[in-house]
């Protein structure tokens, strides 16, 4: 993409209300726009490219878990939410509105009700189970105080996976599989997350875990064992020593990037979702749910992958593979590179200083500079965003050298 | 995908309120669920696969038009809509709600305001233009009477492209390019559309065209010249003879699948969106917008691609390439086919009659049957959904024969 034609505008200053590093950099580098109101963002071309890469990465793991993708309504009628009593217990954060027939609707902040309604009509016998259904789509929360950029918002894109089982043991087995898939997803995004025992909150479930990115600026307060793997959200425990190994627990802060729940029969009971077992007996369907907020994940990646100059994207979710900086015309090199890579081509009529600063801010993993000086040596200059080393590479060897 | 594990449930009867053929078949074949309220649908795995294919096809044409993809908020504050006065003039169909600060928000039914707001802050000089921005995402309309399945809904997925230009002549040129791209998109979906002069309605613009699928069950009333290419929506003309060639105009009905608008400076004027021209003079930005409703497109395809038994999907947007019907175990063939094709594998413990009927209803272009009878001849039976001819193919030649 030619930068001169792109909806990319970097800012020297972040808006005053931006406190989190991710908020500042994502706005300054032109990934998101504060749009129009607190906690509501537009994803600009750079930001949307990252979101689509994150979505693809998650989608591929969901498919590997035999997940089937669906797309569910945002507008959900009151009666569905009344069945689980969450019309009241989730207000806040449920957004409510009336249609022209004066009927109340909620804007989906989660989709247990809608999907359980589909599944209770679909499932007849144990043969119809298990079922693994997921969605990647926008959701809404009527937050009082939307702060921290993409970390706490009123409109957001979530991946939610819902699983339905005949037996509790089957739910438990699948839950472990999802847990491992989540570790893989976060690792692919360059995040080291801690699995933390947590509260089910308004979603529910006795066994639930959060994937927390340990980070001094995180909103969540955690207790982490200094010896074993134990970790717990202080919401549900104030223990002073580790229940597993009796070692000391240390306090830490984290950003929650994923949350998985063994819901058991909570929704099946409330919404009468049954199956017939092998003996012809009616049983309640067991359910699990598993969420990742994509925008928050993008922000968390920035929280941990940056330096003083800007973002440093992990390779597989970067908006582009290569940032080609032209100090002289480099159309030919751009065309050649574009056949094999995703290239942002800085063909703007700007000074080298502005171009280099923008490249550091935007954070594409590989920078290639073409200047009179490099061309005099039939070369281009290559630099990785996360390294200081600059390398001259002959143009004729360029494509090969990039595959290393 | 194994059908025994899939969220696919065919119905013998469509719900009573379903009148349109597309509505009946999409529900009966398990592509969509009437969910929870009138005009609000869940896309089930089969339907969502078709929607994603339509989205990919459109996305590739938008990128070819130098479009940059973004994702914009559904929640939009009152003040933005007041700038264009559409807070009042679009109510209905604007959904309105209040947040916890008692501030009014609208649910986006279109995104001229949000995007013009971004662009007026982004564009400084003529050098920043043109800009081509598109989105593929859900939108909302507070319809009084949501009927016809996916043809008239309250929540829907749209592709909207918005273009911004310095000169009117540049807008006109781009408008023609988009018009041609739209013809290509609809052709790829197997639709022959008529380009019709239309009304700008609440969107605006003096020059606007609709892409109408001529169809006796369509909601729109059109006048079409029997000789030349002229066609007009009766909303804006009651002419009796063709203004181009004086021939007779015939009445026809159509389903609108796309609508493009030369908005000119309507939004720029209302929202003060300017650029500085070569002479340093402030000028209003010219704008165009170009929409396709993806759900309605899917429904229109079904309206025109079906027989009495069910849907007949065009190849490139079918939910799967192959429907493999196993009357005996066909796991090995399934695995081999899956390496090269998208296969729905009917491994259910059901009668041949039920399986064949479901295959006809779902409408995957190619059906492959494996039975004792075919295996006795080391063969499988191949049948195209749109043909009656059945062919025996040796299993060892199967993959090769499918590439023809």
Q: pLDDT digits over B294-329, tens only?
A: 999 999 999 999 999 999 999 999 999 999 999 999
Yes or no, beta carbons of B5 and A66 under 8 Å apart: yes
Q: Give tens-digit pLDDT for A302-323.
A: 999 999 999 999 999 999 999 9
Across chain B, mean pLDDT equals 95
Based on the domain organization, do B275 and B353 belong to the same domain? no
**pLDDT at position A170, please?**
98
Q: Which of B2, B4, B5 to mutate to test the interface with A (most CBs of A within 10 A)?
A: B5
**pLDDT at position B149, please?**
80
Based on the domain organization, do B21 and B146 belong to the same domain? yes
Q: Which of A99, A115, A130, A320 to mutate to test the interface with B (most CBs of B within 10 A)?
A: A99
Chain A residues near residue B107 by CB distance under 8 angstroms: 97, 107
Yes or no, beta carbons of A71 and B43 under 8 Å apart: yes
DSSP code for B100: T
Cβ of residue A164 closer than 8 Å to a chain B Cβ: no
**pLDDT at position A404, please?**
55
DSSP code for B285: P
**pLDDT at position B238, please?**
86
The beta-carbon neighbor of B138 closest among A1, A74, A127 is A74
The beta-carbon neighbor of B36 closest among A9, A73, A349 is A73
Yes or no, beta carbons of A69 and B45 under 8 Å apart: yes
Q: A360 falls in which pLDDT band (50, 70, 90)?
A: very high
**pLDDT at position A37, please?**
85
Across chain A, mean pLDDT equals 95
Based on the domain organization, do A355 and A237 belong to the same domain? no
Cβ of residue B116 closer than 8 Å to a chain A Cβ: no
Based on the domain organization, do B129 and B17 belong to the same domain? yes
Based on the domain organization, do A197 and A344 belong to the same domain? no
How far does A340 lie from chain B, in Å, by closest CA?
A: 17
Whether A275 maps to a domain, the answer reads: yes
Task: Tell me the mean pLDDT in the region A375-399.
Answer: 96
How many domains would you assign to chain A?
2
* Of B271, B283, B282, the residue nearest B119 (C-alpha): B271
Yes or no, beta carbons of B43 and A70 under 8 Å apart: yes
Q: Of the given ranges (A13-17, A99-103, B44-48, B94-98), which has the lowest mean pLDDT?
A: A13-17
Whether B233 maps to a domain, the answer reads: no
Chain A residues near residue B155 by CB distance under 8 angstroms: 73-75
Based on the domain organization, do A272 and A123 belong to the same domain? yes
Q: Say whether pTM exceeds 0.95.
A: yes
Tokens of A353: 């200083």
How far does A183 lie from chain B, in Å, by closest CA?
A: 25
**Domain termination residue (choose one: A285, A307, A329):** A307
Cβ of residue A336 closer than 8 Å to a chain B Cβ: no
**pLDDT at position B404, please?**
55
Percent above pLDDT 90 for chain A: 91
How far does A21 lie from chain B, in Å, by closest CA?
A: 22
Q: Give tens-digit pLDDT for A26-49.
A: 999 999 998 678 899 999 999 999
Cβ of residue A210 closer than 8 Å to a chain B Cβ: no
The Cα B138–Cα B156 span in angstroms is 5
Based on the domain organization, do A362 and A269 belong to the same domain? no
Chain B residue with CA closest to A118: the answer is B35
Q: Give tens-digit pLDDT for B99-129.
A: 999 999 999 999 999 999 999 999 999 999 9
* Of A147, A167, A404, the residue nearest A296 (C-alpha): A147
Whether B53 maps to a domain, the answer reads: yes
Cβ of residue A64 closer than 8 Å to a chain B Cβ: no
Chain A residue with CA closest to B121: the answer is A9
ipTM: 0.97
Whether B50 maps to a domain, the answer reads: yes
**How many A×B Cβ pairs under 8 Å?**
156
Based on the domain organization, do B270 and B161 belong to the same domain? yes
Chain A residues near residue B66 by CB distance under 8 angstroms: 5
Q: A144 falls in which pLDDT band (50, 70, 90)?
A: confident
The beta-carbon neighbor of A138 closest among B74, B100, B114 is B74
**pLDDT at position B81, please?**
97
Give residues with Cβ within 8 angstroms of B214, minimum separation 6: B192, B194, B222, B224, B252, B253, B254
**pLDDT at position B325, please?**
98
Task: Tell me the mean pLDDT in the region A229-236.
Answer: 95
Cβ proximity of B227 and B249 under 8 Å: no
Based on the domain organization, do A151 and A77 belong to the same domain? yes
Structural domain for B38, as ranges:
3-220+250-307
Task: Tell me the mean pLDDT in the region A356-368.
Answer: 98
Cβ of residue B345 closer than 8 Å to a chain A Cβ: no
Whether B334 maps to a domain, the answer reads: yes
Whether A314 maps to a domain, the answer reads: no
How far does A143 lie from chain B, in Å, by closest CA?
A: 7
Yes or no, beta carbons of A155 and B74 under 8 Å apart: yes
Q: A399 falls in which pLDDT band (50, 70, 90)?
A: very high
pLDDT of B87 over the 90 cut: yes
Tokens of B119: 């662009």
Q: Give tens-digit pLDDT for A170-217.
A: 999 999 999 999 999 999 999 999 999 999 999 998 899 999 999 988
Q: B235 falls in which pLDDT band (50, 70, 90)?
A: very high
* Of B173, B170, B127, B165, the residue nearest B284 (C-alpha): B165
Q: A133 falls in which pLDDT band (50, 70, 90)?
A: very high
Give the burial class of A148: count Cβ atoms within 10 A of its Cβ; 0-12 exposed, 13-18 middle, 19 or more buried.
buried
Task: Tell me the mean pLDDT in the region B53-81.
Answer: 97
The Cα A185–Cα A178 span in angstroms is 10
* Of B125, B160, B386, B108, the residue nearest B275 (C-alpha): B125
Whether B232 maps to a domain, the answer reads: no
**pLDDT at position B367, please?**
98
Cβ of residue B182 closer than 8 Å to a chain A Cβ: no
Yes or no, beta carbons of A40 and B137 under 8 Å apart: no
Based on the domain organization, do A237 and A125 belong to the same domain? yes
Ramachandran area for residue B68 (φ above 0: left; ψ -120 to 50: alpha; else beta):
beta
Chain A residues near residue B114 by CB distance under 8 angstroms: 35-36, 42
**pLDDT at position A145, please?**
81
**pLDDT at position B230, please?**
96
- Which residue(s) pair with A394 in the sheet? A379
Whether A52 maps to a domain, the answer reads: yes
Yes or no, beta carbons of A37 and B103 under 8 Å apart: yes
Chain A residue with CA closest to B73: the answer is A42
The beta-carbon neighbor of A35 closest among B4, B114, B155 is B114
Task: Tell me the mean pLDDT in the region B72-86.
Answer: 96
Based on the domain organization, do B269 and B334 belong to the same domain? no
Yes or no, beta carbons of B37 and A77 under 8 Å apart: yes
| Range 237-266 of B in CB contact (< 8 A) with A | none
Q: Give tens-digit pLDDT for A327-357.
A: 999 999 999 999 999 999 999 999 999 999 9
**Domain termination residue (choose one: A307, A331, A346):** A307
| Range 38-57 of A in CB contact (< 8 A) with B | 40-45, 48-49, 51-52
The Cα B400–Cα B196 span in angstroms is 44
**Domain termination residue (choose one: A307, A332, A356):** A307
**Which domain CATH number covers B381?**
3.40.50.800
DSSP code for B304: H
Cβ proximity of B362 and B29 under 8 Å: yes
The Cα B271–Cα B285 span in angstroms is 10
Percent of chain B as helix, strand, coil, to the nearest 5:
35, 30, 35
How far does A369 lie from chain B, in Å, by closest CA?
A: 23
Cβ of residue B118 closer than 8 Å to a chain A Cβ: yes
Q: Give tens-digit pLDDT for B262-298.
A: 999 999 999 999 999 999 999 999 999 999 999 999 9
Task: Tell me the mean pLDDT in the region B227-256.
Answer: 95
Residues in chain A: 404
Chain A residue with CA closest to B38: the answer is A77
**pLDDT at position A17, please?**
84
How far does B226 lie from chain A, in Å, by closest CA?
A: 42
Yes or no, beta carbons of A42 and B71 under 8 Å apart: yes
Chain A residues near residue B174 by CB distance under 8 angstroms: none
**pLDDT at position B340, please?**
95
**Alpha-helical segments (H) within A244-371:** 266-271, 294-304, 331-340, 352-362
How far does B252 lie from chain A, in Å, by closest CA?
A: 31
Cβ of residue B69 closer than 8 Å to a chain A Cβ: yes
Chain B residues near residue A66 by CB distance under 8 angstroms: 5
- Which residue(s) pair with B163 in the sheet? B132, B288
**Which domain CATH number covers B98?**
3.30.930.10
- Hey, what's the torsion of the CAs at A224, A230, A231, A232, to 10 degrees? -120
Residues in chain B: 404
Based on the domain organization, do A284 and A385 belong to the same domain? no
The beta-carbon neighbor of B36 closest among A40, A80, A96 is A80
- Which residue(s) pair with A310 in the sheet? A307
The Cα B120–Cα A395 span in angstroms is 40
């Amino acid at each position: 993409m030619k930068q001169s034609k792109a909806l990319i505008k970097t800012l020297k200053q972040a808006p005053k209300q931006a406190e989190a590093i991710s908020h500042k950099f994502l706005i300054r580098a032109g990934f998101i726009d504060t749009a129009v109101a607190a906690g509501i963002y537009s994803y600009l071309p750079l930001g949307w490219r990252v979101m689509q890469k994150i979505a693809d990465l998650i989608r591929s793991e969901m498919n590997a878990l035999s997940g089937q993708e669906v797309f569910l309504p945002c507008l959900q009628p009151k009666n569905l939410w009344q069945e689980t009593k969450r019309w009241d217990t989730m207000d806040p954060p449920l957004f409510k509105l009336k249609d022209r027939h004066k009927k109340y609707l909620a804007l989906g902040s989660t989709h247990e009700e809608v999907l359980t309604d589909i599944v209770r009509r679909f499932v007849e016998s144990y043969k119809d189970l298990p079922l693994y259904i997921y969605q990647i789509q926008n959701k809404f929360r009527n937050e009082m105080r939307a702060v921290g950029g993409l970390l706490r918002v009123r409109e957001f894109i979530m991946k939610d996976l819902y699983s339905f089982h005949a037996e509790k043991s089957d739910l438990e087995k699948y839950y472990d599989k999802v847990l491992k898939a989540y570790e893989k997803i976060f690792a692919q995004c360059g995040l080291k997350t801690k699995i933390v025992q947590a509260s089910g909150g308004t979603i529910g479930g006795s066994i639930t875990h959060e994937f927390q990115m340990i980070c001094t600026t995180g909103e969540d307060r955690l207790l982490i064992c200094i010896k074993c793997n134990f970790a717990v959200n202080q919401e549900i425990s104030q223990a002073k020593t580790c229940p597993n190994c009796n070692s000391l627990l240390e306090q830490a802060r984290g950003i929650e990037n994923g949350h998985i729940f063994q819901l058991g029969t909570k929704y099946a009971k409330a919404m009468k979702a049954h199956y017939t077992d092998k003996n012809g007996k009616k049983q309640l369907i067991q359910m699990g749910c598993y969420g990742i907020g994509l925008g928050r994940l993008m922000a968390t990646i920035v929280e941990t992958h940056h330096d003083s100059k800007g973002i440093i994207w992990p390779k597989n979710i970067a908006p582009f593979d290569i940032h080609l900086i032209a100090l002289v015309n480099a159309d030919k090199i751009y065309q050649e590179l574009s056949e094999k890579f995703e290239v942002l081509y800085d063909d703007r009529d700007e000074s080298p200083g502005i171009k280099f600063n923008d490249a550091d801010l935007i954070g594409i993993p590989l920078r290639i500079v073409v200047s009179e000086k490099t061309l005099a040596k039939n070369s281009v200059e290559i630099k990785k965003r996360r390294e200081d080393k600059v390398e001259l590479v002959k143009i004729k060897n360029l494509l090969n050298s990039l595959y290393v």
